[in-house]
Amino acid sequence: GIGLATAALFARSGATVAINDLPDNPSLERAVAELKQEGLSVQAAPADIGQPEEARAMVRQAAERLGRLDYLVNNAATANTDRPIPLSDLDGIDEAFWSKVLGLNLVGPFRCTQAAAGYLRQARGAVVNTASSAAFGAPGSSLAYAASKAALVNLTRNLARALAPEVRVNAVAPGLIRTPWTRRFGQEWEELSVRQTCLKRPGTPEDIAEVMLFLCAGGAYLTGQTLLVDGGMG
């Protein structure tokens, strides 16, 4: 989805990219192999960023292999459900659900940024977090997911202050993006979301990747901001 499209765009733009995914996900090695066939400079960086030491070790090892670290894109996240959970279904969200969603969607980006901070300061680099239009009231997959993304918007603003002036920190808040992840929610959910947009189409991973690249390689006077990229959802 968004992560692979972003990694591919960065690599095609001349960057050397370390791509993170779960260690047991066969699509990681497959994606790396396919990008290498294009002649791109990419490598796998497997880890579960929901696990504190695993996340931090992954960032350190990737930075050491790359030789430096200019940009960090915190895109890993989970809805932790195969169907949208209505806001009224409070019993559909238990303590374990909250723990997984917050641990990956909110604390995970902090862990990776914390581990990357020294490298990014040295490079005068940038961080981009993947928030969501659900952070601003759009329908999300669950109350917990929306809350985690709203908190990530706040974390983005405060990390920008914490890492200034050397490192810029921004976020992208996608609306409906057609990915294997969102297809699980069904055609009706997609059509409802599309009807609410000005552009009358779902977004693509490439739409978000373009904004990620801008926030890293451009936007030199932009920090602490979250860009809503939702096709003009009303």
pLDDT value of residue 234: 63
User: What's the pLDDT tens digit per position in 157-190?
Assistant: 999 999 999 999 999 999 988 877 767 666 776 7
Share of the chain above pLDDT 70, in %: 97
Rounded to 5°, angle at Cα 67 from 64 and 70? 100
Backbone angle region of 224, left / alpha / beta, with phi > 0 → left and psi within -120 to 50 → alpha:
left
User: pLDDT averaged over the chain?
Assistant: 94
Tens-place pLDDT, residues 178-232: 877 767 666 776 777 778 889 988 889 999 999 999 999 999 999 999 999 999 9
Whole-number Å distance between alpha carbons of 148 and 107: 9
Q: How many helices (H) and strands (E) does the chain have?
A: 9, 6
Using a cut of 0.95, tell me whether the model's pTM lies above it: no
The set of catalytic residues is 145
Q: Are residues 19 and 29 in contact, defined by beta-carbon separation less than 8 angstroms?
A: no
Helix (H, G, I), strand (E, B) or coil at 106: helix
User: How far are the Cα atoms of 11, 50, 197 from residue 110, in angstroms, in the given order?
Assistant: 24, 11, 31
